[in-house]
Amino acid sequence: MTTLLKRLLALLFAFSLIAAACGSNEPEASDDGASDDSASSDDGSSDDGSSGDDDGSSDDSGDDDVDLVQGTDLTFYMITHSDDGPFWSVLKRGAEQAATDLGVELVWQGSNNDPAVQAADIDAAVASGADGIAASLPSPDQLIPGLKAAVDAGIPVYTLNSGVNDYEEIGATTHVGQTEVIAGNGAGQRFNADGRATKILCGRQEQDNVALNERCDGLAETFDGEVISEFMDLDADTIAQQAAIRAAMEADPDIDGFMGVGPVIAMSGLRAAQDLGRDVVVGGFDITSELIDSIEDGDVLFTVDQQQYLQGYIPVLLMFLEVTNKNTLGGGLPILTGPGFVTQDNAADVKALVAAGTR
């Protein structure tokens, strides 16, 4: 068996495990609970070339012990609007693990929610001759031109996390993430099933991020009561964020629900309500240890889980397969990593994976 064939068989086996893990949207299911963890546990099982070991004795080439992580000269860029918070640290960990598994160089660039910086990073990656670019797309008007230039230059482009509405316009191969409106729809249905909230403040931690607006829009589509969508300051200043939420709640005594469209702002909303002594039903997006603890304790109703480890890991794998073997996935449709939901019923199962850094 040739070296290239062994490598491709091992890679496809690894991806099949990841794809199987993505298939469940319910975190309480045992395979979803291991989905991000399975991506990391594949590190050992997919890089030993085991898919070709059984016929190695018939191969006289001397290449039987091929290591999947042997070096290549490929350099992939992941350019996002990330900060140093808990969500993006997990996504970055997934991307770095994929680069290690595949033996490629990964250049990670975060702009801390500054689209001008992100656009400049994309332009620089194109100029450097990147072998592939994966980028989040929170501000399409400012970022699409640079990514189109990458496609025109023959560089494979993937969008991740945000960009599900625009990746086709760019000419990107596919998008890896969740459909934000559908995720918001699911949140509204959770609030409805609980039945306590009648007016929800949907707090956003970024002012111009299209994806966060869509989460609030999706919530408003399905929630039976009223939804107010407001920017409530950045995660980088949780004191100011909590104060802004508290002020909004004080100004409107009818607010009895809070939806934080990120894990940090969800906790800021909970604290603001507790400071006021208000009985507010709180929901969140994404995962931190603190948020999981609050769900376990019954202080937060749920959080929406988009499995960000996979949003880091899968684009690197897909760029590698497209460059080395002309493989593409998605068939023109996005590859969805969510939404799933973490509730009091399944929080304990997810908690160990959060501690491991893969959720």
Encoded amino acid at 330, one letter: G
Q: Same structural domain for residues 189 and 172? A: no
What is the H or E stretch that residue 216 is in? helix 210-222
Region of 282 on the Ramachandran plot (φ > 0 left; ψ -120 to 50 alpha; else beta): beta
Residue 39 has pLDDT above 90, yes or no: no
The two three-digit tokens of residue 105, written as one number: 């160089």
246 occurs within a structural domain: yes
Across the range 79-106, mean pLDDT stands at 95
The 10 Å Cβ neighbour count of residue 76 is: 28
Q: Same structural domain for residues 145 and 172? A: yes
Q: Same structural domain for residues 136 and 279? A: no
Angle (deg, nearest 10), helices 263-276 and 289-297: 50
The reported pLDDT for the residue numbered 173 is 98
DSSP state of 343: E
Q: Which of 9-13, 140-144, 207-211 shows the highest mean pLDDT?
A: 140-144
Identify whether the C-beta of residue 80 lies closer than 8 Å to the C-beta of residue 136. Answer: yes
55 occurs within a structural domain: yes
The two three-digit tokens of residue 271, written as one number: 């604290």
Name the nearest CA neighbour of 310 among 183, 177, 137: 177
The rounded Cα 20 to chain-centroid distance in angstroms is 17
Q: Same structural domain for residues 190 and 285? A: yes
The reported pLDDT for the residue numbered 86 is 84
* Count of domains observed in the chain: 3
186 occurs within a structural domain: yes
- One DSSP character per residue, 26-75 reads -TTSHHHHTHHHHHHHHHHHSSS-GGGGGGGGG-TTS--S--TT---S-E
Give the domain CATH number at 125. Answer: 3.40.50.2300
Across the range 212-221, mean pLDDT stands at 97
Residue 88 structural domain: 72-178+307-328
Q: Same structural domain for residues 184 and 299? A: yes
Which has the minimum average pLDDT: 8-22, 85-99, 226-240? Answer: 8-22
Residue 310 has pLDDT above 70, yes or no: yes
The mean pLDDT of the chain is 85
Q: Give the separation between CA 18 and CA 279, rounded to whole angstroms.
A: 40
Q: Same structural domain for residues 130 and 193? A: no
Parallel, antiparallel, or unpaired for β 157-161 and 302-305?
unpaired
Count the helix, strand and coil residues of the chain and give each as a percent rounded to the nearest 5. Answer: 50, 15, 35
Q: Same structural domain for residues 297 and 190? A: yes
